[in-house]
Amino acid sequence: MGFIFQAVESVLRAFIFAPLYRTAEGDDKSALDENTTKHARALLKCLAVIPGSVVAIYYGGEKASDIVLYVSLAAQIAGLAWFVISFAALPQRHLNAAMGVTEAMFCAFLSGVFAIMIFALLRATFSLLVIMPIYWWLYKSAAMYDSADLLKAGKDEQEMLAARAIQRLEPLFIRWAQHAGVPPTKGGADDGTHPTV
């Protein structure tokens, strides 16, 4: 199984995440490696729905086929919810939990995709000519978005901490400027006492 997992990771690096890897350095590369592993796990986990989908669609009758179809559509819609989760707004200390959540969401989405493709294969084979390119582009864009967003992890928290630090330092800077004789200039606070940098 290790060889298959490594092969899936290699394919993801080469065909999905290559643009991000070309520009990644240091911590960004490490984050991309973690996210590539997450996506490889999600892809392999989703293969578990294939046998059940085949049995339900091929042998389960019309009701079972309908259930597979509707549940897979719902899973795709729910799985797309990761687009509203931004790693940028997430404190760095919660990153591991967020990776688990997005992996589960991706599994739901991909499981729905696989179930729909099995449904199409068994019920309307030629529809795969339309479905497969659409799902390829959807998967690629979703995976790239997820990885690019991961590189912003904790950014909002860092900006908030920087703004707080500036607020704390501003009175010291103003006192220093006044003591050093730096005249106030336009563009500072409304009272005209803030020098601008």
* Confidence at residue 164, expressed as pLDDT on a 0 to 100 scale: 67
Of the candidates 197, 189, 50, which has an alpha carbon nearest to the alpha carbon of residue 115? 50
Confidence label for 80 from pLDDT (cuts 50, 70 and 90): low
* Confidence at residue 148, expressed as pLDDT on a 0 to 100 scale: 81
Following DSSP, what letter does each residue of 121-143 receive, concatenated? HHH-GGGHHHHHHHHHHHHHHHH
Q: Is the pLDDT of residue 180 over 90?
A: no
Q: What CA–CA distance (Å, rounded) separates 138 from 60?
A: 29
Q: Taking residues 93-110, what's their average pLDDT?
A: 82
Domain map of the chain by residue range? Answer: 2-153, 155-197
* Confidence at residue 65, expressed as pLDDT on a 0 to 100 scale: 84
- Write out pLDDT tens, residues 24-46: 888 889 888 998 999 999 999 98
Q: Taking residues 149-166, what's their average pLDDT?
A: 64
* Confidence at residue 126, expressed as pLDDT on a 0 to 100 scale: 93
Q: How far is CA 79 from its chain centroid? A: 11
